[in-house]
Structure 1
């Protein structure tokens, strides 16, 4: 399945035979204090910046209507995010995943975003479109 929008990921997760949790890390972008004028121009054009995790959450795909609903929930938290990194965590059959498994996976995702190691996650922009970084 081609995942070009967050709603594609949501639909794919809903159709899996095993229990799924969507793991989401919302990230903001900033510039270092010693940024060059070229870096500042790129940042102002929305083309660069350092990503830092702001908040994270796990969601049951069946309980999330769509990307717009996710954005509404994120807006209520008041953090100015620019990208949301998503991954799915599969259980075994219909058994719910343990909270410790979910928390551990989310923490690994947060650390990966901090380190710039973004493999295994799909970044989505504020419109829900999958983006390529790099």
Structure 2
């Protein structure tokens, strides 16, 4: 299991073909303040970005860069897009996958396929209801 962002970076760098990391930053709207591990609510996408693994130095830098654009996010959804024959995917290649991520988060479907961290780099497990 990926427990910190650097684990994800290492895994991306170990893949046989270059990767492009896909990030979706989302805001959480809690419906209740029940036990923290079983809160219910909605998740709304705020912004997306794609980067090569070497374009992200660490989690704190990514958070800082995201906050320069919008501070109203709570969770970071992450996926990886694999290149082909030693060539990394382009940002244009990433666009349909970022759209899919956005649709998945908005609908609550297929969200288990993403690595999710909160602002403090804590891994988050989400279950659609």
Q: With the length of structure 1 as denominator, give the TM-score of the two structures.
A: 0.83
Q: What is aligned with 2:89?
A: 97
C-alpha separation in 2, matches of 1:25 and 1:70: 12
Post-superposition Cα deviations, 1:45-71, rounded to whole Å, max 9, x if no partner, equal: 683321010000001101211111110
Q: What is aligned with 2:20?
A: 21
Q: What is aligned with 1:60?
A: 52
Q: After superposition, where does 1:1-134 map in structure 2 within 5 Å? A: 2-31=1-30, 39-42=31-34, 47-117=39-109, 118-134=111-127
C-alpha separation in 2, matches of 1:98 and 1:81: 25
Greater mean alpha carbon deviation, residues 16-25 or residues 90-99: 90-99
* 1:40–1:130 CA distance, 2 compared to 1 (3 A): closer
> What secondary structure does 1:41 align onto?
coil
C-alpha separation in 2, matches of 1:41 and 1:69: 30
Q: Which has the higher contact order (CA 8 A, sep 6+)?
A: 1
Cα RMSD (Å) of the superposition? 1.9
Post-superposition Cα deviations, 1:6-53, rounded to whole Å, max 9, x if no partner, equal: 22101111222211011011110125xxxxxxx43339x683321010
Please state how far the C-alpha of 1:125 moved relative to its aligned partner. 1.1
- Tell me if the contact between 1:7 and 1:128 (Cα under 8 Å) persists in the aligned partners: no
- Tell me if the contact between 2:20 and 2:53 (Cα under 8 Å) persists in the aligned partners: yes
Please state how far the C-alpha of 1:72 moved relative to its aligned partner. 0.7
C-alpha separation in 2, matches of 1:119 and 1:84: 13
Count of paired positions: 125
Unmatched runs of 5 consecutive residues or more in structure 2: none
- Tell me if the contact between 1:54 and 1:79 (Cα under 8 Å) persists in the aligned partners: no
C-alpha separation in 2, matches of 1:64 and 1:9: 11
